[in-house]
Structure 1
C-alpha cells in the first residue's frame, strides 16, 4: 500500500480547543500532518485520508518541545470555522 504525508500550516486568531487535546490552545500557527493511502485498483491515482495530526507546543516546563496529537479532520474544520466567525476583542 502506497502512503503519503501532507503538511500544512493552519492559523488561529483566538484560543481554541480540539477533541483529543487536553488543554486550551493559544492563538498562532500550527503544523497539521495528514497521512493518506492510495486506493488500489483504480486506473488513476486516488488517495484517502487515514490520519490527521496536529503539532502543539509542550506545556511548562517543556515548552521548547512539541507534541503530536491525533485529531479528527472534522474537528479541525469546526475549530477553524469557529475561529473565523469569532469576534475580535
Structure 2
C-alpha cells in the first residue's frame, strides 16, 4: 500500500486550543502534515487520512531551542480554524 504526506499551513489570527496540548497556542502560522494511505481496489485514485500533525512552535519563531511534531485530531483542527475565522469576521 502506498503512503504520502501532504503539507499545509494553518493560520490563526488569535490564540487557540487543541486537545492534547497544554494551554492555548499563540496566534500565528503553523505547519500541518497529513499522512495518507492509498485506498486500493477503487476505480479511481483515492486517499484516506490516517494521521494529522502540527509543528510547534509557530513558523514566526526563528531558530527555536526545541521543536515538536504533535499528533492532533484533524476535525478538531478544522473546528478551531472555523472558530478563528468566525471570530475574526
Q: TM-score if structure 1 supplies the norm length? A: 0.86
Quote the Cα distance in structure 2 between the aligned partners of 1:26 and 1:5: 25
Q: Which runs of 4+ in 1 moved over 2 A?
A: none
Unaligned runs of 5+ in 1: none
| Number of aligned positions between the proteins | 85
Quote the Cα distance in structure 2 between the aligned partners of 1:54 and 1:87: 22
Q: Secondary structure at the match of 1:86?
A: helix
Superposed CA offset, 1:10-57 (max 9, x none): 100000000121121000000000000001112221110000000012
Quote the Cα distance in structure 1 between the aligned partners of 2:81 and 2:67: 21
Quote the Cα distance in structure 2 between the aligned partners of 1:7 and 1:75: 17
> Aligned-residue CA RMSD in angstroms?
1.9
Structure 1 residue aligned with 2:61: none
